[in-house]
């Protein structure tokens, strides 16, 4: 049984992941990000660090790691790095762990409020068209964030 994105534990876990990423230098998109041409088209958490786009798929203890592998394969078309974040102490004991390694995906464990890298992701070249769709979603958010910092409040409401 997959944990619904409406489940309160998913929301708390997602917020913890976003906070962790931000404190480690990632610019995190505040919403789930659409991944084009993919059967599993919504990335739980997407971030940019430097010039690289990262996709993070969160799996609770009741979620299927096998399904997570399929989702990561879809996200690999549009992102430079893909990481499965598993709410498990021993995610490396999954029979699918070796497949994540073969595909160059990262695996992190999420225990309590801490995140631990179990498998470092390999950088990949994203499909140009798919990446452009992801970049457009970030461009609006990053422009809004930069634009708001240096503007006077009176300018916020002018066109």
In-domain check, residue 157: no
Q: What percent of the chain has pLDDT over 70?
A: 79
pLDDT of res. 60: 84
Report if residue 158 sits inside a domain.
no
Best mean pLDDT range from 9-13, 110-114, 120-124: 120-124
pLDDT band at 89 (very low <50, low <70, confident <90, very high): low
Residue 1 clears pLDDT 90, i.e. is over it: no
- 36-40, 84-88, 118-122: lowest mean pLDDT where? 36-40
- Model pTM? 0.82
| Domain span holding position 85 | 8-150
Query: pLDDT grade, residue 145 (50/70/90)?
Result: low
Residue 159 lies inside a defined structural domain of this protein: no
Contact 68, 74 (CB under 8 A): no
CB 69 within 8 A of CB 39: no
State the Cα–Cα distance between residues 107 and 56, nearest whole angstrom.
9
> Does residue 14 belong to any structural domain of this protein?
yes
> Do the domain assignments include residue 156?
no
Taking a C-beta distance cutoff of 8 angstroms, is the pair 3, 9 a contact?
yes
Q: Structurally, how many domains does the chain consist of?
A: 1
The CATH number given to whatever domain includes residue 88 is: 3.40.1350
Residue 95 lies in a domain: yes
What average pLDDT does the segment 86-109 reach? 83
Task: Summarize pLDDT for 26-60 with one digit per residue, the tens.
Answer: 999 999 999 987 676 899 999 999 999 999 999 88
117 is a domain residue: yes
Backbone angles phi, psi at 126, to 5 degrees: -85, 155
Dist CA 82 CA 71 (whole Å): 10
In this structure, the dihedral spanned by the alpha carbons of residues 125, 107, 68 and 140, taken in order and rounded to 10 degrees, is -50
Q: Is residue 46 part of a domain?
A: yes
């Amino acid at each position: 049984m997959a944990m619904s994105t409406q489940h309160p534990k998913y929301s708390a876990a997602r917020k913890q992941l976003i906070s962790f990423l931000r404190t480690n230098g990632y610019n995190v998109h505040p919403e789930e990000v659409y991944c084009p041409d993919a059967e599993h088209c919504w990335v739980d958490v997407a971030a940019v660090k430097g010039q690289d786009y990262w996709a993070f798929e969160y799996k609770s203890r009741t979620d299927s790691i096998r399904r997570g592998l399929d989702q990561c394969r879809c996200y690999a078309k549009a992102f430079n790095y893909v990481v499965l974040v598993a709410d498990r102490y021993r995610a490396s004991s999954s029979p699918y762990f070796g497949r994540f390694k073969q595909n160059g995906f990262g695996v992190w464990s999420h225990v309590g409020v801490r995140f631990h890298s179990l498998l470092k992701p390999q950088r990949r070249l994203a499909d140009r068209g798919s990446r452009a769709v992801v970049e457009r979603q970030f461009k609006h958010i990053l422009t809004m964030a930069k634009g708001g910092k240096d503007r006077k409040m009176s300018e916020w409401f002018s066109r």
